[in-house]
Amino acid sequence: MQELEEDEEELYEHHRMIVEKGQELVRLDKYLMMRMQNATRNKIQNGIDLGLVKVNESVTKASYKVKPYDVVTVSLPHPPREGGIEPENIPLDIVYEDDDLLVVNKPAGMVVHPAFGHWEGTLVNALVYHFQNLPTHRNGEARPGLVHRIDKETSGLLVIAKNDYAMTHLAKQFFDHSIERTYYALVWGELKNEEGTITGHIGRSIKDRKIRAVFPDGSVGKHAVTHYKVLKNLRYVSLVKCNLETGRTHQIRVHFKHIGHPLFNDSTYGGDRILRGTLFSKYEQYVGNCFKICPRHALHAKSLGFIHPTTGQFMQFDTDLPADMQNLLEKWEKYVNNE
């Protein structure tokens, strides 16, 4: 089963409370402590400070006195579950690290966290081995330090929180879609426009619940926006840079499938067959060799930008294309130039 990239909103537990008629005046943080299991006072106060708690749809302070019929809404990172994760001595490509966070460059083929069918060899197993006392969240699943994910076969950058405050701060940036994320993808065909925006609700496919689909009328799924720019037009395939305005499951893969340009070798969304070019046996053999060079969907999370939780400074990280995508690109460039 393919691992799914989650919507940022799903990284949160959401609560909506209407204060009881007989409730005496009490501080907001104290009220939430009484009402929310598994939430520490620090976690609640951090959430209030970061605007993740609202009273009557307005951000307020921890000292606000809750009164009857107030409507309190809360969006906080999920609490930890009981039970451990097996630490594994798996090497990590750490791009940056300080006391609050680290940025890792995940290789293609590595699942981000343990789930059914993938209990070992995940990024989380490696994190638990290399770093102790990472914060966790998600009721029912332990995910030390994770504030976002990328698919198993997608390579690239992930930011990991090393303490509760950093986790809440970073999670809010994902929740607000203020994180800057750039992906490079190799897609089938020539795009009509060199720059553009793909907009369309994404939800579970009605025909196959394991995959996602676009619902242009907005009747199903969640609003999703992908901005793209063509970097290289190679007739049969194109290298595109994608910036996510939202973070939906399989967003880039689903959006490009929707406009008729599936990612190269994306077996889930139809990119693992010849979609552009001739059916001559020599060309078929060439494309087959390309599939072998990059035996996964050609997608890389190339850059990541966010505000540091403690310093308040904007931080930007960038990586080179991994070898398989680089070799694939060079092979297509050589093919087109020699035609």
**Known catalytic residues?**
151
Beta strands per DSSP E along the chain: 12-18, 26-27, 53-55, 58-59, 65-66, 71-77, 94-97, 101-106, 155-161, 180-188, 195-199, 201-204, 212-215, 225-233, 237-244, 299-307, 314-318
Sign of CA dihedral 171, 177, 182, 183: positive
What is the pairing mode between strands 299-307 and 155-161?
Answer: parallel
Short-list 204, 200, 210, 182, CA closest to 299:
182
Contacts of 191 (CB under 8 A, 6+ apart): 228, 230, 233, 238, 240, 259, 261
Sign of CA dihedral 186, 191, 193, 199: negative
**CA distance to 81, 114, 187, 280, per residue, from 276 (Å):** 48, 37, 10, 12
Beta strands per DSSP E along 87-134: 94-97, 101-106
Q: What are phi and psi of 44, to 5 degrees?
A: -65, -45
Token digits of residue 172? 């809010």
Separation of alpha carbons 17 and 173, rounded Å: 24
Token digits of residue 200? 């369309």
